[in-house]
C-alpha cells in the first residue's frame, strides 16, 4: 500500500497552483478539465506520483467558496531553514499564521502559513 494523494477543494485553482508552486516549490504535475462533471483537477507535488505523495486540487466550476469545517487540520511540509523560508514567504505576501519557533510542549520548530483557500500549511524544521 502507498499513500497517493490528499484532495483539497480550492476556491481559485490558478491561485492555489501559483501558491504551492511559486511559494512552496512544488511542481504542477498534471491538470485536466472534466466538462461533463463541471470540475477541474490539478496535481502538485515535489516529485512524480509513482514515488511521492502529492496534493490533488479539485475546483468545482461555479463554486468560489467552501466551508472548511473544524475537523480538518493541515498539511505539513519539511523545511531546511524554516526562519528563512518564512521570511521569504512573508516578503512575497504570504500570510504567516504562526511565526516559526518551538512547539509549546516540545522542541520541534514549526510555523503555519495560510494558503489562498484558507487551508493551513504547517512548516516543520527538518
Single out the residue of 46, 45, 16 nearest to residue 119, CA to CA.
16
Q: Are 115 and 69 in contact (CB under 8 A)?
A: no
Q: Which residue among the candidates 32, 49, 56, 122 is catalytic per the annotation?
A: 122
d(CA 75, CA 68) in angstroms, rounded, equals 14
pLDDT tops 90 at residue 69:
no
Whole-number pLDDT of residue 62:
92
Domain that holds residue 34: 1-63
CATH of residue 3's domain is 3.10.180.10
Residue 68 included in any domain: no
pLDDT of the residue at 75: 96
Residue 69, in any domain of the structure: no
User: 112 near 67, Cβ under 8 Å?
Assistant: no
Q: What gap in Å lies between CA 62 and CA 96, rounded to an integer?
A: 29
pTM over 0.75: yes
Gap between the Cα atoms of 65 and 107, Å rounded: 36
**CA–CA distance, 29 with 91 (Å, rounded to integer):** 27
Asked about 38 being catalytic, the answer comes back as no
Read off the pLDDT of residues 40-50 as tens digits, 9 standing for 90 and up: 999 999 999 99
Amino acid at each position: 500500500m502507498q499513500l497517493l494523494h490528499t484532495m483539497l477543494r480550492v476556491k481559485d485553482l490558478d491561485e492555489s497552483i501559483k501558491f504551492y508552486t511559486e511559494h512552496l516549490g512544488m511542481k504542477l504535475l498534471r491538470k485536466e478539465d472534466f466538462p461533463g462533471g463541471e470540475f477541474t483537477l490539478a496535481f502538485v507535488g515535489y516529485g512524480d506520483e509513482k514515488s511521492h505523495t502529492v496534493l490533488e486540487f479539485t475546483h468545482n466550476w461555479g463554486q468560489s467558496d467552501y466551508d472548511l469545517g473544524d475537523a480538518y487540520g493541515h498539511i505539513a511540509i519539511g523545511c531546511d531553514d524554516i526562519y528563512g523560508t518564512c521570511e521569504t514567504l512573508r516578503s512575497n505576501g504570504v500570510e504567516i499564521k504562526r511565526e516559526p519557533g518551538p512547539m509549546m510542549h516540545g522542541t520541534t520548530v514549526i510555523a503555519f502559513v495560510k494558503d489562498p483557500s484558507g487551508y493551513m500549511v504547517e512548516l516543520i524544521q527538518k
